[in-house]
Amino acid sequence: MSAEWPERSEAMIAKKIATKEIVLWALRKRRPWRVQGVSMEPEYRAGDLVLIDPNAPVVAGSVVVARHPFKNLDVIKYVKTVDNDDHVVLESPQGDDSSHFGRVPLHTVRGTVTYNWKAHRPT
């Protein structure tokens, strides 16, 4: 009956979310991407396995995987703003935001990150 139960409950919620997300992944409602690079640290680090929901609405503040507008690669970034003409501005905590490649069309967003299965963090 103690001060420790809220902590345990938080861990339980996290576990439940993880289980739910992995089940959704098994049902192909989620797609995995592997993080590479440091621009999303500290929350997302190289080696982390993120699951994305291709059908989730894109909202400011969420994390998305998107096609780079002119390179053949996918990027992981925070959504800074969603404009009403179906464009988004993306940013990274450790890097430049997308101001140098401009706003990107909403359809370049592959999906919203719903879960981060973090890689081993050396202590």
Question: What residues make contact with other proteins under the rule CB under 8 A?
Answer: 31-41, 44, 46-47, 49-50, 65, 68, 71, 73-76, 92, 94-96, 98, 100-101, 117-120
Provide the token pair at 42: 């500290």
Q: How far is the CB of 117 from other proteins (least distance, A)?
A: 5
Tell me if residue 114 falls in helix, strand or coil.
Answer: strand
DSSP secondary structure, 50-111, as one string: EEEETTSPP-TT-EEEEE-SSSSSEEEEEEEEEETTTEEEEE-TTS--GGGT--EEGGGEEE
The nearer residue to other proteins, 5 or 15, going by C-beta atoms, is 15
The nearer residue to other proteins, 36 or 81, going by C-beta atoms, is 36
Q: How far is the CB of 3 from other proteins (least distance, A)?
A: 28
The nearer residue to other proteins, 13 or 32, going by C-beta atoms, is 32
Other Cβ atoms less than 10 A from the Cβ of 116: the count is: 19
The nearer residue to other proteins, 5 or 81, going by C-beta atoms, is 81
